[in-house]
């Protein structure tokens, strides 16, 4: 099997994780979570702290395992239907961060497309994997920003969310504004909210650039995306931006 094949099998770790989650499943937690996510992804019914406990139990001793085996285990879990198994995949990739193969980002792309269908998994991969890649290699910025041109809206959202923690420090400002130019015309709510999130952080480093961006794109921006973007600005300025947005005809 090619190491780049999106669907991989890791029966020992995957089966152990699945059995542990099934043993902890709570029908009420499952119903509540699926209601909150509006049916976008199924749940076993295990709360996040218990998912972390499963991770610590199943993946307690992995440092002596071949990194390829563990990366494939993570990729396999990410493509499982249940959200808790996707959470385990993100935890595992984060745990492996000191041992990632150099081609991890390229190999992640098809797996991300196959396995990410909700905002929580998207943001987990963005904040715990893509962000680390950006911190290690500034050259990765252009590659991750290209996700903004993907046909997959979750990849589009990830292209923005990956930069959230860096934007407030003024890192990659030009790249962030360019990728937001791409996202501003998206009709997808989660894409626009991801864009608004990174702009909110960027406003701490370059308020004028964010205000200019908003004025340039008022016609296509959702109001809630604008509200996200201006959340950390002074109240009078927020009110001024919202009045301007309200007066601008929508496309």
Choose one of 117, 135, 153: the last residue of a domain: 117
Q: How many domains does the chain have?
A: 2
- DSSP H helices in the chain: 11-24, 27-36, 48-58, 67-78, 83-95, 104-115, 119-125, 131-136, 140-145, 153-161, 164-167, 173-183, 189-202, 207-217, 223-229, 235-247
Q: Do 1 and 110 sit in the same domain of this protein?
A: yes
Q: Which pLDDT band, with edges at 50, 70 and 90, does 6 fall under?
A: very low
pLDDT, tens digit (0-9, with 9 covering 90-100), for 72-100 = 999 999 999 999 999 999 999 999 999 99
For residue 172, report the phi and psi dihedrals to the nearest 5 degrees.
Answer: 65, 30
Q: Which pLDDT band, with edges at 50, 70 and 90, does 11 fall under?
A: very low
Cα–Cα–Cα angle for 125, 127, 132, rounded to 5 degrees: 95
Q: Do 92 and 24 sit in the same domain of this protein?
A: yes
Q: Do 139 and 230 sit in the same domain of this protein?
A: yes
Q: Do 127 and 247 sit in the same domain of this protein?
A: yes
pLDDT, tens digit (0-9, with 9 covering 90-100), for 20-36 = 999 999 999 999 999 99
Q: Do 23 and 51 sit in the same domain of this protein?
A: yes
Q: Do 207 and 243 sit in the same domain of this protein?
A: yes
Choose one of 63, 94, 117: the last residue of a domain: 117
pLDDT, tens digit (0-9, with 9 covering 90-100), for 126-178 = 999 999 999 999 889 999 999 999 999 999 999 999 999 999 999 999 999 99
Range 226-242 average pLDDT: 97
Q: Do 242 and 141 sit in the same domain of this protein?
A: yes
Q: Do 100 and 148 sit in the same domain of this protein?
A: no
Expressed as residue numbers, the domain containing 59 is: 1-117
Q: Do 67 and 160 sit in the same domain of this protein?
A: no
**Looking at residue 14, what is its pLDDT?**
87
Q: Do 110 and 126 sit in the same domain of this protein?
A: no
Choose one of 72, 94, 117: the last residue of a domain: 117
Does the pTM surpass 0.95? The reply is no
Q: Do 89 and 112 sit in the same domain of this protein?
A: yes
Of the two residues 103 and 2, the one the predictor is more confident about is 103
Q: What is the CATH number of the domain that holds 164?
A: 1.25.10.90
Q: Do 236 and 145 sit in the same domain of this protein?
A: yes
């Amino acid at each position: 099997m090619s190491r780049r094949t999106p669907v991989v099998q890791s029966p020992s770790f995957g089966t152990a994780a699945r059995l542990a989650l099934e043993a902890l499943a709570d029908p009420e937690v499952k119903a509540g979570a699926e209601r909150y996510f509006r049916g976008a992804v199924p749940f076993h019914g295990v709360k996040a702290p218990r998912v972390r406990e499963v991770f610590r139990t199943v993946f307690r001793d992995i440092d002596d395992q071949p990194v390829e085996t563990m990366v494939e285990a993570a990729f396999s879990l990410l493509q499982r239907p249940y959200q808790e198994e996707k959470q385990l995949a993100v935890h595992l990739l984060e745990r492996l961060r000191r041992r990632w193969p150099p081609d991890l980002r390229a190999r992640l792309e098809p797996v991300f497309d196959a396995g990410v269908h909700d905002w929580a998994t998207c943001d987990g991969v963005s904040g715990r994997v893509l962000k680390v890649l950006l911190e290690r290699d500034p050259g990765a910025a252009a590659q991750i920003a290209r996700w903004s041109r993907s046909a997959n809206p979750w990849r589009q959202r990830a292209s923005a969310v990956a930069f959230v923690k860096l934007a407030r420090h003024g890192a990659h400002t030009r790249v962030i504004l360019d990728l937001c130019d791409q996202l501003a015309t998206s009709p997808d709510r989660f894409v626009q909210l991801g864009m608004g999130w990174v702009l909110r952080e960027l406003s701490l480093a370059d308020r004028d650039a964010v205000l200019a961006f908003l004025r340039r794109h008022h016609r296509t921006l959702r109001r809630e995306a604008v509200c996200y973007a201006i959340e950390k600005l002074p109240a009078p300025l927020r009110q001024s931006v919202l009045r301007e947005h309200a007066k601008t005809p929508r496309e």
